[in-house]
Structure 1
Amino acid sequence: MEAFVLRDAVKPGRVSQVGATETAEAVVSARKPYKLVSRDFHPDDSVIQVGPVAFGGDKVIVMSGPCAVESREQLMMTAEFMQRVGVPVMRGGAYKPRTSPYSFQGMRLDGLKMLAEARERYGVLIVTEAVDHESLANVAEWADIVQIGARNMQNFELLKAVGQCGRPVLLKRGMAATIDEWLLAAEYIAAHGNLNIILCERGIRTYETKTRNTLDISAVPVVKQLSHLPVVIDPSHAAGQWQWVLPLARAGVAAGADGLIIETHPNPAEALSDGPQSLNFRHMEELMEEVGRVARAVGRTL
C-alpha cells in the first residue's frame, strides 16, 4: 500500500497513513522514506529564522569562527572581527569530539559561557556542537543553533533528543553517509518535533587523499530538489588546507548553497584544533569579498 502524508493534519512525531481507497483533503503522496523533510510534504523552500538571520532566503549566510574555544582573549578578538566584517553567526567548539583521546577536548561549559558573552558584546549569533545528551542540554541553554557533527549524524537517540530541544539545528552530513541517510537523519529530528533544520555538506570520504575530505558540490542541488530545508557547506573540513577553502566556498555558493561555515582563527599556527584549515583574519576578509561577488552573480547577497 502506498503511504500518504496529510499535509495539514500531520504533526511532527506523527505521520498519518491512509489507504489508497480512502479520501482526504490536501493529501500528498509520500513515496520517499523521509517524509517531513521532503518536498512531497512541503513543496516550497523553508526559511529557518534564527533571531534576525534567515537561512534559506535571499541572503547567503556566513558562519565563521575558531574550530575550538581556546581562551576568552581568542574568542573576543574573533567575535569583534566577525562583527566588523559582517559575519552574523559565529562558530566555536566548546565540546570537541576528537579522533585522538589525547587531543584538546574543548572547554565545555566554560567555553559555552564565553560564547554567550561574545554574543552579548558583539551581537553575533552562536552555533556550537553538542556531542551527547548532557552537552545538548547545555548547548540548548547557551547557544542559538545546535550543531550535530558528522560523527553523530546517525546517533539516533541524540537526534531524537535534538528534536525536542527547542533550538534550530545544523545537521552535518556523515563522512560516509549517502544523501538518503543524511535526509533520514534529518527526518529523525523532524519526526520528534523540530523542523528548524539546516543541512550541512562538509565533505565525504573517498579514495582521494590530497584533501581531508571530498566536498560533494553535487549534493547541494540534489538535496535542494529532494528537500525543502536550507543547505550550507563547510569547505574548511572538506579541504583540510586553508588555501583551498576560498575556491570551494565560491563553488558552493555558485551551486546554490544557502550558507557557509568557515573556520577562522587569529593565529592559525597556534590553534589547538584544525589550524591548517583555518583562515586568518586577512584571508577571511578576502573570502567575504570574493564570495560576495559570486553571490551577486547568482542573484543573492551575503
Structure 2
Amino acid sequence: MIIVMKAGTPSVEIERVTEEVCRYEIIPEICQGQHKAVIGLVGETAEIDTRQVQNISPFIEQVIRVKKPFKRASLEFRYGEHSEVAVPTPNGVITFGQNHPLVVVAGPCSVENEEMIVETAHVVKAAGAQFLRGGAYKPRTSPYAFQGHGESALDLLAKAKEATGLGIITEVMDAADLDKIVEVADVVQIGARNMQNFSLLKKVGAIGKAVLLKRGLSATIEDWLMSAEYILAAGNPNVILCERGIRTFDKQYTRNTLDISAIPVLRSLTHLPIMIDPSHATGKSEFVQPMVMASIAAGADSLMIEVHPNPAKALSDGPQSLTLEGFEELMQEMAPLGKFFGRWSKKNSTTIPMFASQTYATVRF
C-alpha cells in the first residue's frame, strides 16, 4: 500500500502521517519524488481500510494498494517514478537510471595478473567506460575450471582502481568474503547462480554499497524481482538489475538467449535501473555488437561488456570477450546511437585515438 501526498505538502505533515500509520504495525518508508512524496506501507496491509488512512490528513491525495508480490521493487511503490542508483567512484559520482547517460562497464571475466588488469583498465577508461569489471571469485560449472585468484585478485582490482579512478564491480559468492569485497568494490555483484541465495541477498541488503543483481539462468521476471525485494527489504535501496541471458532450447549457436523484451517489461513493472550483459548472453564476441545496439535502442540504462587483451589465452570466457581494440571500435559505434536516444555524455566519449591500446605495454603470457 502507498500513500500519495499532495504536491507541496509540508515535511512536518508528512512526518505526522508517517507516525500515524505506525499504529497499524507496519513499516512506513518515505520516497521523495520530484513533485510529490510517497509513503510506502510495508507489512500486512490487507486488513487496513484505505478510507481510514485517507482521513488521516487533508494533504493525502490518494491511497493505493500495491498488488504486485514485489512491493518495494514495484513501479507503483514509487508512484510511477523510476529510481536512480548513484555510485561514488574516484572519478566522481556515476548514476544508473532511466534519465541518465548510459553507464558502460567493461573488463575481463577473471582477474589474471596485475599487468593484464591494469592495462585493460587504462584502455577501457580511455575508450569511455566508467566501471571496471573483473572476477576475483568465480562460480564455474566444473570444479576443475579456474575459480579465480580470490583475495589476491581484490588487491589487483584495488591497484587498477587507484591507477585509473574507475569504479569496480566484482562478484560475491560467499557471505564470508563480503567484508573483503566491499573494501574494494563500488558495486557488489550477485551472479546468476546466486540470484535466489536468499541468505546472501539479505547480507548484501544490509550493506550500503550498490548491488548488481543478475537474472538467474532459468528465472522468470517475477522470480528476479522477488530476489531484488529481499535486498530492498533488508534496507538497501541501491539495486541494479542485470539481464545476462537465460537458458532456452538452443545452445548450439549462442551460450544463452538474451531477453531483450525484459527491458520494456521491467520498465513497466519496476523503478529499478536496468543493465544488459550481451557477453554472457551470446557467449560469442562477434554477436556482442548487435546485441549492444539492440539494448540501447530498447532502453537499457547500462551495459556490461567483457574485454580481454588476449581472449584466445583468457583463463575464463575468452570466446565472448572483445579485444582491447574491439572494445574501442564498439564504443565508437555506440556513440551515434547513444546520442540519438539522449543517453550519451562526455564521460562516454573516447579520449584517445582508435587502437590506442597499442600505446600500453603488451601483456605477455
In structure 2, which of residues 52, 70, 86 is the aligned counterpart of residue 22 of structure 1?
52
The range that moved more, 8-17 or 104-113, is 8-17
Question: 1:54 aligned to 2:54?
Answer: no
Specify the alignment match of 2:283 in structure 1: 240
| Structure 1: distance between partners of 2:41 and 2:198 | 17
Alignment of 1:88-237 (within 5 A): 88-209=130-251, 210-237=253-280
| Structure 2: distance between partners of 1:19 and 1:248 | 48
Deviation at 1:20, TM superposition (A): 4.0
Deviation at 1:117, TM superposition (A): 1.4
Deviations 1:198-255 (A, max 9, x none): 1000000110221000000000011011111110100000110100001001100100
In structure 2, which of residues 65, 68, 90 is the aligned counterpart of residue 32 of structure 1?
68
Structure number with greater Rg is 2
1:14 touches 1:191 (CA, 8 Å); kept in 2?
Answer: no
Deviation at 1:47, TM superposition (A): 1.2
**SS at structure 1 position matched to 2:75:** coil
1:127 touches 1:144 (CA, 8 Å); kept in 2?
Answer: yes
| Structure 2: distance between partners of 1:261 and 1:226 | 22
Deviation at 1:19, TM superposition (A): 3.2
**SS at structure 2 position matched to 1:220:** helix
2:131 touches 2:167 (CA, 8 Å); kept in 1?
Answer: yes
**SS at structure 2 position matched to 1:46:** coil
Question: 1:291 aligned to 2:334?
Answer: yes
2:124 touches 2:328 (CA, 8 Å); kept in 1?
Answer: no
**SS at structure 2 position matched to 1:22:** helix
| Aligned-CA RMSD value | 1.6
In structure 2, which of residues 310, 325, 328 is the aligned counterpart of residue 282 of structure 1?
325
| Structure 1: distance between partners of 2:112 and 2:301 | 29
Give structure 2 stretches of 5+ with no counterpart.
5-13, 19-27, 31-39, 55-59, 349-365
Normalising by structure 1, we get a TM-score of 0.95
2:124 touches 2:324 (CA, 8 Å); kept in 1?
Answer: no
Residues 6 and 193 of structure 1: CA distance in aligned 2, closer, same or farther (over 3 Å): farther
The range that moved more, 80-89 or 22-31, is 22-31
**SS at structure 1 position matched to 2:178:** helix
1:28 touches 1:41 (CA, 8 Å); kept in 2?
Answer: no
1:148 touches 1:172 (CA, 8 Å); kept in 2?
Answer: yes
1:67 touches 1:273 (CA, 8 Å); kept in 2?
Answer: yes
Specify the alignment match of 1:45 in structure 2: 82
**SS at structure 1 position matched to 2:225:** helix
Percentage identity across paired residues of the two chains = 50
Deviation at 1:34, TM superposition (A): 0.5
Letter in 1 for 2:95: A
The range that moved more, 88-97 or 40-49, is 40-49
Residues 143 and 133 of structure 1: CA distance in aligned 2, closer, same or farther (over 3 Å): same
In structure 2, which of residues 308, 311, 320 is the aligned counterpart of residue 268 of structure 1?
311
2:205 touches 2:231 (CA, 8 Å); kept in 1?
Answer: yes
| Structure 2: distance between partners of 1:87 and 1:60 | 10
Specify the alignment match of 2:301 in structure 1: 258
| Structure 1: distance between partners of 2:246 and 2:125 | 31
- Equivalent pairs counted in the alignment come to 299
Deviations 1:66-116 (A, max 9, x none): 000000111111111122112110000000011000111111111111111
Deviation at 1:5, TM superposition (A): 3.6
1:95 touches 1:135 (CA, 8 Å); kept in 2?
Answer: no
Specify the alignment match of 2:25 in structure 1: none
Normalising by structure 2, we get a TM-score of 0.79
